[in-house]
């Protein structure tokens, strides 16, 4: 289901909980919401649609990848940029990395790096 985007900064600032197999329905909501916002969004976190769970979804062209309980293992090539967010108005300066190594579980809860 396409969910409304959360704009409450207090909610967005709260720590998310580890996702479990009981949270599988969230994946479909994230896919539907990302698809509905595809012209202005390439990824989102579960908290952006009201779930305080450690789940993100990233559009990689022809496929959307759900990452459950992601952890950044390595990062390199720091750079500064501006980016927007569906939950917040305007653009913000932020620091990003050109390369990251991520450990996560897929939708079947299989581990990947």
Question: What domains sit in the chain, N to C, each tagged with a CATH number?
Answer: 9-112 (3.90.45.10)
- The average pLDDT across 23-29 equals 96
* Total-model pTM: 0.92
Can you tell me whether residue 22 is helix, strand or coil? helix
Could you give the residue ranges of the DSSP H alpha helices within 1-113? Answer: 9-12, 24-36
Determine the pLDDT at residue 68: 98
Mean pLDDT value across the chain: 96
**What is the rounded distance in angstroms from the CA atom of residue 33 to the CA atom of residue 28?**
8
Per-residue confidence at 47, pLDDT binned at 50, 70, 90?
very high
Per-residue confidence at 73, pLDDT binned at 50, 70, 90?
very high
Phi, psi of 73 (to 5 degrees): -95, -40
**What is the rounded distance in angstroms from the CA atom of residue 52 to the CA atom of residue 100?**
24
Residues paired with 17 in a beta bridge: 53
pLDDT of 61 above 90: no
pLDDT of 16 above 90: yes
């Amino acid at each position: 289901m396409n969910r409304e985007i959360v704009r409450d900064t207090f909610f967005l600032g709260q720590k998310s909980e580890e996702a479990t197999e009981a949270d599988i329905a969230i994946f479909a909501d994230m896919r539907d919401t990302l698809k509905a916002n595809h012209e202005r969004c390439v990824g989102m976190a579960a908290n952006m649609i009201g779930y305080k769970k450690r789940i993100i979804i990233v559009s990689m062209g022809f496929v959307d990848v759900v990452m459950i309980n992601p952890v950044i293992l390595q990062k390199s090539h720091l750079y500064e940029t501006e980016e927007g967010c569906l939950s917040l108005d305007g653009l913000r300066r932020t620091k990003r990395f050109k390369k990251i190594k991520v450990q996560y579980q897929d939708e079947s809860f299989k581990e990947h790096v």
